[in-house]
Amino acid sequence: MTTFTRYPYAGPSDQLVVSTVESPWSSVRTVRTIEHQLLESSMTLYTLRPPRPSAGTMKLRLPSITAAHAARDFFSTPSEFGMSPVNPPELAGRFVVTGGDITVAQDVGSWVVSLPWREVLG
């Protein structure tokens, strides 16, 4: 069982318990270093910038359409979220749902909620 907590935490309505977080897990970290090729020169300069926070897609398997829509509504609120226990370690801190759509899809005997996430640093 995985417990998701919505912050700022105000009580039990800010928690969602999900029995299965699907594998495979997907995450990506975008590198933002910029390469500059100098005109009339063989020299290349680089502007070093920190990478973007990790991001990816999370899939939650739920037993009913009611639970799936409750999860979609839970993650649709403009909040930061945490999970416990933390698995995978990319989400050791908090995350936000951003960069795409939250989808609800029927699978054999269950419902799957897919949501895009991005790590919150600091």
Per-residue pLDDT of the chain (122 residues), as tens digits, is: 888 899 988 888 999 998 888 765 667 778 888 999 888 888 899 999 888 888 888 899 999 999 999 999 999 999 999 888 776 665 667 889 988 899 999 988 899 999 998 888 77
The verdict on residue 29 lying in a domain is no
Strand partners, 93: none
| pLDDT score, position 73 | 95
The verdict on residue 11 lying in a domain is yes
The verdict on residue 93 lying in a domain is yes
Tell me how far apart the alpha carbons of residues 75 and 41 are, in angstroms, rounded to a whole number: 51
3-class DSSP state of 4: strand
The verdict on residue 104 lying in a domain is yes
Domain, as residue range, for 103:
2-22+55-120
Tell me how far apart the alpha carbons of residues 68 and 35 are, in angstroms, rounded to a whole number: 44
Q: Whole-prediction pTM value? A: 0.77
The verdict on residue 66 lying in a domain is yes
| pLDDT score, position 104 | 96
